[in-house]
Amino acid sequence: MDEPLAITLFSGTDDRLSAAAVLIAGAAALGRPVHVFLQYWALDAFRFNAAGRRTQLAPEAGEAGAAAVEALRAAGQASWRETLAQAKEIGQVEIQACSLSMDLLQLAQDDLDPLVDGVEGVTAFWLAAGAGQVVFI
Q: Which residues bind another protein (CB under 8 A)?
A: 1, 22, 25-26, 28-31, 72, 75-78, 83, 86-87, 89-91
If the CB atoms of residues 82 and 117 are measured against another protein, the closer one turns out to be 82
Phi/psi at 96 (5° precision)? -120, 140
Using a CB cutoff of 8 Å and minimum separation of 24, what contacts does 120-127 make?
120/37, 120/96, 122/98, 124/96, 125/6, 125/8, 125/35, 125/37, 125/96, 125/98
The partner residues of 135 in beta bridges, in order of sequence, read 7
Q: State the minimum distance, in angstroms, from the CB of residue 127 to another protein.
A: 26
If the CB atoms of residues 77 and 133 are measured against another protein, the closer one turns out to be 77
If the CB atoms of residues 85 and 107 are measured against another protein, the closer one turns out to be 85
If the CB atoms of residues 30 and 122 are measured against another protein, the closer one turns out to be 30
Q: State the minimum distance, in angstroms, from the CB of residue 22 to another protein.
A: 5
Q: State the minimum distance, in angstroms, from the CB of residue 15 to another protein.
A: 13
Q: State the minimum distance, in angstroms, from the CB of residue 125 to another protein.
A: 24
